[in-house]
């Protein structure tokens, strides 16, 4: 009973937080809603007994990523920024994204019925050794690829920020 | 009595245990504020707070004056002032986040306590059973994760205050906390590499760390602070930075930032920031002691079980081996060590001058982080060689 109640609470927190991120016009509010959503998600992981994932989620996302978001939002606009209005490009992208999400939900509804409880995955429980072993054997390639992607994103950010700094100096 | 407690619903048990822990931490945090002023006075060779007294205690001949000199009543006077002062809300602040920030400061500070074991008793077969609210397998990760949420209160406080100095302070705060988290995390990895010896179930909990420091023999009983002095040093420096204590309190440097993120705060809201800082110090000290200075073992090379055995042998009293007595002893030992650490915090505060902000950043990124990485590589190789 308690677990069910907790499930509903955390689900509501996650979903409402996510909606808050999308619908809030104030960027700081949106970032805080993102934080709430992450806390709800971490709670769901705890209910699934995936403590390690829950803690890592809080550590990496809530502890570092959202902090940086807030940091940058505040640095860019101290008065709590307003979003720029929608352009035709954003509208198009939003339509495509919404269509894709609808398609995904539809396919999940049609095929995604889980008959029985799934066997515990590598991230469940707090069996660190199993988790680490899987990470360095079965999932080594995906981990490396994701790391490489992150490296590319980081390089891209550095290039873009350098260029902007250059133009500001030129003024 | 104990049966009655264990028959209660689990939630009520947890609630009572949590309440008990808070009842210990809050008074320590309060007394710390007084100790801070007394120690400052002692180091600077002046009397310090020695005036406040409740009238009917002043009538007791010698004891009353002694208590007055000790400055004990300044704690109550301070608390009373904080509670009854007007809790002003400046007109230009963003009200919701302004009120939320001090609350967010308290939550992580008190939540980290749940995964830190603060004592142990000996089980039926002589094995050590740790005492704690929620002794998780991933203790250290959970502490780092929850403690890293503390930065939100500083960011939001600075931003919601909507004025220059708090904002600058909060920008400094978030940069500093993120920088020093890296060195701190890297510095504890050698400890957990060592305790996860081959053939044992993997854990990141504190209980195993203390267990490893209470083994028999010379190397078994050596505290990790002696085995890994560099790790301990990096962790300690990062701890000072994470709790915003001098010499790393550029965040609230009153000379150039007025009061930094709490410039606009007063009364009880400011008090919450204050208590949160001390709670952080208490929990951080406890973690440091568990990792590097033997946890609840009284002395290096003298584990708790041996000490209790000696006491039992010397006195012959049966209650000295009772789990309750051993548990209370272990908690007392850890508490004494934590108080010693708190004294160290204050001692450093009134001895070392504050760093400049660029020095703080330079120390974090150019000194501590490379040192932590080199330390990690060295111990990883050494442990791989030793535990082959």
pLDDT at B235 over 90: yes
The mean pLDDT value for A10-26 works out to 89
Closest CA to B180 of B205, B216, B150, B139: B150
What Å distances lie between residue B22 and B63, B73, B107, B206, B289, CA to CA? 30, 22, 12, 20, 20
Instruction: Say whether A35 and B144 touch across the interface (CB within 8 A).
Output: no
Q: What is the pTM of this model?
A: 0.85
Copy the structure tokens of residue A48.
């699934």
What Å distances lie between residue A79 and A73, B259, B297, B360, CA to CA? 10, 21, 53, 28
Percent of chain B exceeding pLDDT 70 equals 96
Burial class (CB in 10 A: 0-12, 13-18, 19+), B344: middle
pLDDT per position as a tens digit, B269-310: 888 888 888 888 898 999 999 999 888 888 888 888 788 888
The mean pLDDT value for B35-43 works out to 88
pLDDT at A171 over 50: no
Query: Which residues of chain B have a CB within 8 Å of the CB of A122?
Result: none
Copy the structure tokens of residue B267.
């009364």
Domains of chain B, residue spans: 89-386
pLDDT confidence of residue A165: 55
The mean pLDDT value for B25-50 works out to 85
pLDDT confidence band for A146 (50 / 70 / 90):
very high
Instruction: Say whether B97 and A28 touch across the interface (CB within 8 A).
Output: yes
Specify the higher pLDDT residue, A116 or B112. B112
Dist. CA B88–CA A18, nearest whole Å: 34
pLDDT at A124 over 50: no
pLDDT confidence of residue A169: 46
Instruction: Say whether A71 and B155 touch across the interface (CB within 8 A).
Output: yes
Burial class (CB in 10 A: 0-12, 13-18, 19+), B240: buried
Dist. CA B291–CA B142, nearest whole Å: 15
Instruction: Say whether B171 and A126 touch across the interface (CB within 8 A).
Output: no
Query: Which residues of chain A have a CB within 8 Å of the CB of B159?
Result: 28, 70, 74, 78
Specify the higher pLDDT residue, B187 or B10. B187
- The reply to whether ipTM tops 0.90 is no
In sequence order, which residues have a C-beta less than 8 Å from that of residue A84 and are 6 or more positions away? Answer: none
Burial B135-159 (b: 16+ CB within 10 A, else e): bbbbbbbbbbbbbbbbbbbbbbbbb
Residue pair B98/B161 in contact by the 8 Å Cβ criterion: yes
The mean pLDDT value for B204-218 works out to 81
The mean pLDDT value for A146-152 works out to 92
Residue pair B261/B158 in contact by the 8 Å Cβ criterion: yes
Closest CA to B13 of B2, B25, B1, B5: B5
pLDDT confidence of residue B65: 81
Min Cα–Cα distance to chain B from A43, Å: 13
**Which of A115-129, B266-280, B301-315 has the weakest average pLDDT?**
A115-129
What element of type H or E holds A104? helix A88-111
Percent of chain A exceeding pLDDT 90 equals 23
Closest CA to A31 of B152, B243, B61: B152
First to last CA, chain A: 64
Burial class (CB in 10 A: 0-12, 13-18, 19+), B179: buried
pLDDT confidence of residue B386: 86
pLDDT per position as a tens digit, B2-19: 667 777 777 888 888 888
Burial B250-278 (b: 16+ CB within 10 A, else e): bbbbeeebbebbbbbbbebbbbbbbbbbb
DSSP A31-49: HHHHHHHHHHHHHHHHHTT
Min Cα–Cα distance to chain B from A121, Å: 17
Burial class (CB in 10 A: 0-12, 13-18, 19+), B342: buried
Min Cα–Cα distance to chain B from A129, Å: 6
Specify the higher pLDDT residue, B221 or B140. B140
Phi, then psi, of B22 in degrees rounded to 5: -65, -35
Closest CA to B226 of B287, B181, B291, B282: B291
Query: Which residues of chain A have a CB within 8 Å of the CB of B15?
Result: none
Residue with tokens 């012959």: B316
Which of A74-83, A154-163, B118-127 is most confident?
A154-163
In sequence order, which residues have a C-beta less than 8 Å from that of residue B80 and are 6 or more positions away? Answer: none
* SS3 category, A120: coil
Interface of B with A (CB under 8 A): 94, 97, 136-138, 141-142, 144-146, 148-149, 151-152, 155-156, 159, 162, 167, 170-171, 174-175, 178, 181, 196, 201-204
> Best residue in B139, B149, B197 to probe A by mutation, most A CBs within 10 Å?
B149
Mean pLDDT of chain B: 83
The mean pLDDT value for B45-57 works out to 83
pLDDT confidence band for B89 (50 / 70 / 90):
confident
pLDDT per position as a tens digit, B90-109: 888 888 888 888 888 888 88
pLDDT confidence of residue A116: 61
Instruction: Say whether A129 and B138 touch across the interface (CB within 8 A).
Output: no
- Closest residue in A to B192 (Cα) is A128
pLDDT confidence of residue A51: 80
In sequence order, which residues have a C-beta less than 8 Å from that of residue B231 and are 6 or more positions away? Answer: B187, B188, B190, B191, B224, B292, B375, B379
Dist. CA A9–CA A44, nearest whole Å: 9
Instruction: Say whether B149 and A58 touch across the interface (CB within 8 A).
Output: yes
């Amino acid at each position: 009973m308690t677990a069910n109640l907790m499930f509903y609470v955390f689900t509501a927190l996650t979903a409402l937080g996510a909606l808050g991120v999308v619908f809030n016009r104030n960027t700081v509010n949106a970032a805080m809603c993102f934080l709430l959503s992450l806390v709800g998600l971490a709670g769901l992981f705890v209910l699934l007994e995936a403590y390690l994932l829950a803690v890592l989620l809080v550590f990496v996302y809530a502890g570092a990523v959202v902090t940086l978001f807030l940091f940058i939002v505040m640095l860019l606009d101290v008065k709590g920024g307003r979003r720029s209005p929608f352009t035709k490009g954003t509208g198009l992208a939003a339509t495509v994204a919404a269509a894709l999400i609808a398609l995904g939900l539809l396919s999940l509804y049609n095929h995604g019925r889980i008959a029985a409880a799934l066997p515990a995955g590598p991230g469940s429980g707090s069996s660190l050794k199993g988790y680490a072993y899987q990470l360095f054997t079965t999932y080594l390639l995906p981990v490396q690829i994701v790391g490489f992607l992150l490296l590319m994103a980081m390089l891209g950010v550095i290039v873009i920020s350098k260029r902007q700094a250059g133009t500001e100096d030129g003024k | 009595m104990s049966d009655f407690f264990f028959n209660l619903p689990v939630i009520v048990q947890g609630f009572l245990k949590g309440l008990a822990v808070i009842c210990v931490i809050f008074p320590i945090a309060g007394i710390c504020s007084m100790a801070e002023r007394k120690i400052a006075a002692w180091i600077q060779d002046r009397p310090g707070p020695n005036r406040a007294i409740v009238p009917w205690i002043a009538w007791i001949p010698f004891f009353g004056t002694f208590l007055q000199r000790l400055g004990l009543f300044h704690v109550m006077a301070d608390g009373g002032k904080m509670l009854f002062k007007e809790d002003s809300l400046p007109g230009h602040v963003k009200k919701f986040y302004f009120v939320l920030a001090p609350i967010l400061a308290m939550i992580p500070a008190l939540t980290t306590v749940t995964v830190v074991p603060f004592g142990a008793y000996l089980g039926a077969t002589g094995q050590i059973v740790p005492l704690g609210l929620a002794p998780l397998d991933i203790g250290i990760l959970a502490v780092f994760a929850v403690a890293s949420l503390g930065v939100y209160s500083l960011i939001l406080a600075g931003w919601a205050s909507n004025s220059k100095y708090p904002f600058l302070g909060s920008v400094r705060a978030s940069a500093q906390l993120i920088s020093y988290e890296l060195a701190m995390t890297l510095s504890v990895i050698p400890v957990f590499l060592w305790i996860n010896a081959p053939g044992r179930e993997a854990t990141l909990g504190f209980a195993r760390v203390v267990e490893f420091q209470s083994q028999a023999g010379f190397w078994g009983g050596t505290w990790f602070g002696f085995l890994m002095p560099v790790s301990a040093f990096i962790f300690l420096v990062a701890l000072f930075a994470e709790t915003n204590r001098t010499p790393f309190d550029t965040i609230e440097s009153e000379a150039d930032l007025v009061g930094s993120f709490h410039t606009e705060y007063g009364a009880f809201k400011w008090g919450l920031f204050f208590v949160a800082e001390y709670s952080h110090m208490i929990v951080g000290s406890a973690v440091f002691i568990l990792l590097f200075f033997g946890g609840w073992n009284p002395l290096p090379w003298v584990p708790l079980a041996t000490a209790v055995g000696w006491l039992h042998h010397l006195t012959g009293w049966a209650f000295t081996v009772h789990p309750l007595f051993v548990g209370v002893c272990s908690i007392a030992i850890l508490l004494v060590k934590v108080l010693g650490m708190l004294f160290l915090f204050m001692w450093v505060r009134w001895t070392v001058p504050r760093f400049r902000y660029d020095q703080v950043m330079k120390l974090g990124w150019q000194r501590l982080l490379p040192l932590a990485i080199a330390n990690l590589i060295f111990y990883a190789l050494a442990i791989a060689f030793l535990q082959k």
